[in-house]
Chains A and B, each alone.
Chain A
């Protein structure tokens, strides 16, 4: 079995890494700002980027379904292999749940999401303040969970590289020769 990711998988991984870290940072930053034109602008950008991330994760899942990722090193203990798979599953789940909860929250709060100010995303929920506040809590809680799991993801990759000295990190890096 090939021991590397396809160029497409690598591209999707790194584009989404930048997008997701940006979305999380922006999300935590903007929520405490006093109301201002800047704040409304940042909220719009956050929503546009969130829709983009959601579409990218769909592309990524479709690609993943047709391209098995390289296996974990056989030297890895079974419990750690399970933890790695569980962590990746959680990341995919959060990549879906974050934009979905944000979209539903926006609907319930009465602020429709219009992608790049041009393409209206239908409101699945009617305006409902209590539901909007609940979904805001869900969105914020998932964001904290996302940060924790991302920290674990990065820490695990660094551990593989610097302590286990395997190719887990390098096989996702763009420098490595790839084929599709």
Chain B
């Protein structure tokens, strides 16, 4: 009897899918985007990353158990100008030859009420890791769900733009990241 009970408990613990719940765990790259905006001498300039991937598990019924790990291929950057793309792949910026990927790994999820969440975690770019808190909303759309949010990082924290670019008079320190991540559930 005791054995049967503990087996039940174990099964319950191992099975995140309670009746009716959906766990979103497949990132849909074609429906997702990772974009950024920065200021260049007072001009807001938009860019994006074309390639990224992620592992996540998110059950709206148990948001605090959610986990996410997200990789962005830095060489897939689109700065809006070809010479800009080539420039930021180089050593003073992302140094994609040595650090091809930017990675975010969550350390937990805080539900703020409604469909709003805060996802603290570690963001690693160019070999430097910073604690960040990523705000996100979640919207279920049929069989898939969409996570959206934006946060600001300081490029200097990750040594993005060294040498002659290190000052902020031309390219500002703050970079606003905007993401839209669609995921399918099962």
Contact = CB atoms under 8 A, between A and B. Distances in A.
A83 interface: no
Interface residues of B, number: 19
Contact of B43 (A35, A36, A37, A44): A44
Main secondary structure of the interface of A (DSSP, over half): loop
A118 B80 contact: no
A52 interface: no
A118 to B, nearest CB: 6
Contacts, number: 45
A127 interface: yes
Nearest to B44: A112
B41 A110 contact: no
B7 interface: no
Interface stretch (B101-109, B131-139, B165-173): B165-173
Interface in A3-57: 35-37, 40-41, 44
Contact of A37 (B46, B80, B83, B170): B170
A112 B43 contact: yes
Contacts of B13: none
A35 B45 contact: no
Contact of B165 (A37, A109, A118): A37
Nearest to B41: A44
Contacts of B46: 110, 127
B84 interface: yes
Nearest to A47: B43
A117 B42 contact: yes
Contacts of A76: none
B183 to A, nearest CB: 28
Nearest to B82: A129
B164 interface: yes
30 contacts: A35-B83, A35-B84, A35-B86, A35-B87, A36-B164, A37-B165, A37-B167, A37-B169, A37-B170, A40-B40, A40-B170, A44-B40, A44-B41, A44-B43, A109-B80, A109-B81, A110-B45, A111-B40, A111-B43, A112-B43, A112-B44, A113-B43, A114-B41, A114-B43, A116-B42, A117-B41, A117-B43, A118-B42, A127-B46, A127-B80
Closest 8 pairs (CB-CB, A-B): A117-B42, A37-B170, A44-B41, A110-B80, A114-B42, A35-B87, A114-B43, A35-B83
Given A35-B86, A40-B171, A110-B80, 20 more contacts: A35-B84, A36-B164, A40-B170, A41-B41, A41-B170, A44-B41, A44-B42, A109-B81, A110-B45, A110-B46, A111-B45, A111-B81, A112-B43, A113-B43, A114-B42, A117-B41, A117-B42, A117-B43, A118-B42, A127-B46
Interface of A: 35-37, 40-41, 44, 109-114, 116-118, 127
